[in-house]
Each structure stands twice: as structure tokens, then as C-alpha cells.
Copies of this chain bind each other. A is one copy, B any other.
């Protein structure tokens, strides 16, 4: 009833959709191609999924889980009281790496409004928790998030000049945002 995954057919559908999206891009993600990959016809999908928006919401949930895991992995082997700047650097590089490795999924999960009512409760917060903890204050967390997302999406969309050294732009932003937090 709620958006959980239990049915195996549903899981197959999500897996097929994810593979199509990741390898062929969003234009290729149609109900017909997803069905085709499973050897069936588009209308049959509607026995398992209420509409395409739900399918996308399931993919967004996968993306949020993936990002959350990546950010945790990136900070896992840091010393417990590592300086903020170092934590932020680790998080930023995990964030960027995941996004570049799953660009279509990243775009799907970050552009447009989030279908929050179709996402597992708490997932969104869980996914961004490492960044929020590292930032030092709520305002800084939001600023850091905006910076990271901005850098990432502009890179994915090819907005920076061809030869731009993005590592340095990342470093400039992180060093600025990581400087000696105020309170909290």
C-alpha cells in the first residue's frame, strides 16, 4: 500500500528502469522500453506500478540511498575528531564521485521537486545527514549543500569552460565554507 518494494516483479521493473536510465539516459526511459527489457508490453507495467511518476520515485529512492551510503563510506575511515575542513573535503569528493558515476540518476534525484509523499519516510534526511553533521551549523550546511550541488550539476551539464580546473574550484569553495565555524 505504501511505496515499499516487496514484490519481486516490482524490483525487476525498478532494476530494468535503472539500467536503462543509467546507460541510455532519460529520453530512453519510457514505459515501453522498460517493459521491453522484461519481455512484456507497456500496459502490463501498470499491474505493478501506478504510473511512471512512481517508477521515477523508486529510482530517486535508490539514488538517495546510494548517495547516503557513499557519503558515509567517504567519512568512515577518518579519525573521530578530524578537522571540519577535512571532513568536508571527504564528503565533497564522495558526493562528486557518486554523481559523476551515476549522472542520470543524480539528475533525476535532484532536479525538479522531490515527490516526498512517494519516498520512504526519513530517507531524504538520512541521505544528507553526513553533510549536515559536518557543516557545523544549519546555515553552513545549507550553503555547503548548495555549493556541492551547484558544482556538480554545472559540471554534469558542461557549463564550465572546457579546460576548467574544477578541483581547484571545489577546493576554493570547501576551504571557504569550512573555515572556523561560528557556533553550534
Contact = CB atoms under 8 A, between A and B. Distances in A.
Interface string A144-172: 01111111011001111000111011111
Nearest to A124: B159
Pick from A142, A151, A164, A165 the residue with the most CB of B within 10 Å: A142
A143 B149 contact: no
A158 B111 CA distance: 10
- Each complex incorporates copies of this chain amounting to 2
B142 A146 contact: no
A146 B160 CA distance: 10
B143 A172 contact: yes
A154 B139 CA distance: 14
Given A148-B150, A177-B176, A142 B157 contact: no
Tell me whether chain A's interface is mostly helix, strand or loop, or mixed. helix
Contacts of A151: 142-143, 146, 150
A83 interface: no
Given A139-B169, A177-B176, A146 B145 contact: no
24 contacts: A111-B111, A111-B153, A111-B157, A113-B159, A139-B168, A139-B172, A140-B176, A142-B160, A142-B166, A142-B169, A143-B151, A143-B169, A143-B173, A143-B176, A146-B150, A146-B151, A146-B154, A147-B147, A147-B150, A147-B173, A148-B150, A149-B150, A150-B150, A150-B153
